[in-house]
Amino acid sequence: LALSQAAQEWQDAAMKKLLLCAAALLVAMSLLAEDTAVPSPNEIVAAAPKPDWVAIPASDMLVMDLAPDTNGKPRRVVIQLMPPPFSQGWIGNVRKLAAVHWWDGLSVNRVQDNYVVQWGDANGEDKAKAKALPAGLVTMTEKDYLSDAIQYRMEPPNRVALGSDAYAKNNWFENGFPMAGDTVGMAWPVHCYGMVGVGRDMPPDTGSGAELYTVIGHAPRHLDRNIAVIGRVIAGIEHLSSLPRGTGTLGFYGTVAERVPIRSVRLGNDVPDLPAYQYLSTTSTSFARYADARANRRDAFFIRPAGGADICNIPVPVRRVKADG
């Protein structure tokens, strides 16, 4: 079964290459064109031309306003909902819950260090006290954690693909989201920092979408394919990640006083003062250059480029823009 030493080394080297031929070529060409200072990932993003940015529709954003902090400062968290084909049943439920203002008056109930912040109904598991859910929510199945509806291809120029890792045969970006997939065409969203998922009870429960969490630590990728991922925080994650850690089991707040009240959760198109947001197209040349620079830091601070990056160490850039774009 053993591979030859040479074959193994070749395979290892190949794995560590972040970008495949055409995308890498584009990067190399642009580096040749500027033989002076090498830009940092952030500088590449800042210089990305307008066509490389994709507007996020207001109707695909979920806006959660927590109670102001102790200094009276507002705490707004903006979530981009995941585009089809992933998790659309849960996302439909989330839209319904936001439409009927279901979360208003509920709270953030759990903050576990290096893991998740979770919000919803603190009494959700107590049938006598739980807040009633609206009619019409759909029930999803465990099959729906994955999808075979996208025909992903590892070939450039339309993908920044990272090959295999401990969790998946393939890792790449799809419509601005980190994705993983196996060899038979099944794909699933990845639990990177800031991703938003659906809390649930023991299987076969899959959760309704009423109980949500976001990742505030090292990517807990063991949750991939075990829980639905419905989006990612694109603004205000610091209002969640800097909350006091809960001292109860699994980081739940032990007292009612510790819970952080939710003023409101609305879909973006119901929030008049919401700014416009854009993400850097994950099929753009700018994103390919950014991802390459994340994997091979050549800016002045670095002395040894890593030669690779895991998918969660390449966060997709998002920017806030004025209404005129």
In angstroms, the CA 21 to CA 192 distance is: 26
Shortest distance in whole angstroms from residue 145 CB to its own copies: 8
- Read off the amino acid at residue 320: R
Nearest approach, Cβ of 73 to its own copies (angstroms)? 10
User: Nearer to its own copies by C-beta: 106 or 312?
Assistant: 312
Which residues have C-beta within 8 Å of that of residue 298, sequence separation ≥ 6?
38, 305
In the numeric block, the tokens 């038979």 are attached to 184
**Which of 98/280 has CB closer to its own copies?**
280
Contact between 25 and 288 under an 8 Å Cβ cutoff? The reply is no
Q: How far is the CB of 188 from its own copies (least distance, A)?
A: 9
Shortest approach of its own copies to residue 217 CB, angstroms? 6
Strand 260-267 versus strand 61-66 pairing type: antiparallel
Comparison of 8 and 123: residue with beta carbon closer to its own copies? 8
Judged by beta carbon, residue 95 or residue 297, the one nearer its own copies is 297
Nearer to its own copies, 75 or 96 (CB): 75
* Rounded Cα–Cα distance for residues 299 and 288 (Å): 16
Closest separation between CB of residue 180 and its own copies, Å? 10
**At 285, is the secondary structure helix, strand, or coil?**
helix
Minimum CB distance to its own copies, residue 311 (Å) = 9
The distance of Cα 238 from the centroid of its chain, to the nearest Å, equals 15
Number of residues in the chain: 325
Which lies closer to its own copies via its Cβ, residue 266 or residue 310?
310
Q: Which is nearer to its own copies, 163 or 209 (CB)?
A: 163
CA–CA dist 213, 229 (Å, integer): 9
Nearer to its own copies, 132 or 202 (CB): 202
CB 155 within 8 A of CB 25: no
Shortest CB 260 distance to its own copies, Å: 12
CB of 7 to its own copies, least distance (A): 5
Using CB under 8 A as the criterion, which residues of the chain lie in contact with its own copies when the complex forms? 1, 3, 7-12, 15-16, 18, 70, 111, 113-114, 142, 145, 162, 164-167, 169, 183, 192-194, 202-203, 217-222, 224-226, 237-238, 241-245, 294-295, 297, 300-310, 312-313, 315
Provide DSSP, 96-152: HHHHTTTTTT-EEEEE-TTSEEEEE-TTTT-TTTPPPPPTT-----GGGGSB--S--
Sign of CA dihedral 55, 316, 107, 239: negative
